[in-house]
Amino acid sequence: MSEDSQRQRNAQVRAEENLAKRAGVYHGAGAAISAIGALLAPWSHWVGGATVVLGAIVQLVTAAAKGKVTRVAEEDAARAEAEAMEAWEFQLTPVAHTLAQLVATPSVRRSDPYSGLCQQIVAAASGLPKADGVRASIYKVATRHNSRAFVPHPSLFQGRADHPRTEFVEDEDEGREVWRAARAGEVVFCEDTSTQPPPGFNTATQRAYRTFITAPVLYNAKPVGLLTTNARAPGDLTRQDERTMRILAELLATAYGIAGDRWPDVGAR
């Protein structure tokens, strides 16, 4: 084996050892997630695959870190996988804990932990890319012009200073495609709105972002909302972020059902 090959091999071994150490942090998280899954059992008739989604978080964390390890140079390998692990721990541990708290709280007292959980999920969505100018929002279903519409929840958004304002009416303009995708359970990832706009996207409208991911929030197989994140520059969001948004939307749907099929009232209009 050549000297260069040996160095690369040693670097890979060190990175994998570091990955294994970091993954150990998630043994406890895995146990907590299993416990949450057990708590969710009474709601299994509507939760569907939510417990599977919860269990998949640990696997996704490890896969994300390993994927980075294989792509980066020797001097960046250990740092990249450590950052991936830390980011996931920072974003998802509070969500898992608050979901467990929500399940364990009597129904008449679930308002505060439910609102807190929704805020944590929005924070996790807005923290996906390490970039400036990111905003994440939750949309709820309301009535507009005698039709259903996805409208921004007035308090459940985080990131850029500009507030979400667009409303997606089911049978009007952009709303048609947004509702079609939501009913089909599709997560829409647009890498660049200028060069690859999704069907129905109004390119004439001035926007503060160039890339976005929108995940439907489905309850009993019907859309009750959207979880979306967007960023200023193409490349700020990735396919890994797309998978993460799907998981966050599944967790949001689980919380929605446990809280009584409703969105938090904080800031409601």
Residues whose CB is less than 8 angstroms from the CB of residue 106 and which lie 6 or more positions away in sequence, other chains included: none
Residue 29, pLDDT > 50, answer: no
Nearest to 226 by CA among 252, 200, 207: 252
254/132 Cα distance (integer angstroms): 30
Q: Name the percent of the chain lying above pLDDT 90.
A: 48
**For the chain, domain boundaries:** 1-104, 121-269
Least reliable range by pLDDT among 16-30, 97-111, 137-151, 168-182: 16-30
Q: What is 121-269's CATH topology?
A: Beta-Lactamase (3.30.450)
Instruction: Yes or no: say if 174 and 197 are a contact pair by the CB < 8 Å rule.
Output: no
Where does the pLDDT of residue 226 fall: very low under 50, low under 70, confident under 90, or very high at 90 and above?
very high
Instruction: Yes or no: say if 11 and 77 are a contact pair by the CB < 8 Å rule.
Output: yes
Mean pLDDT of the 51-57 span: 51
State the DSSP string of the chain: --HHHHHHHHHHHHHHHHHHHHHHHHHHHHHHHHHHHHHTGGGHHHHTTHHHHHHHHHHHHHHHHHHHHHHS-HHHHHHHHHHHHHHHHHHHHHHHHHHHHHHHS-GGG-HHHHHHHHHHHHHHHHTSS--SS-EEEEEEEEEETTEEEEEEEEEEEEESSSPP---EETTSHHHHHHHHHHHTTPPEEES-TTTSPPTT--TTS--S-SEEEEEEEEETTEEEEEEEEEESSTTSS-HHHHHHHHHHHHHHHHHHHHTTS----TT--
| Residue-level pLDDT at 87 | 63
Residue 170, pLDDT > 70, answer: yes
| Residue-level pLDDT at 83 | 63
Mean pLDDT of the 194-219 span: 93
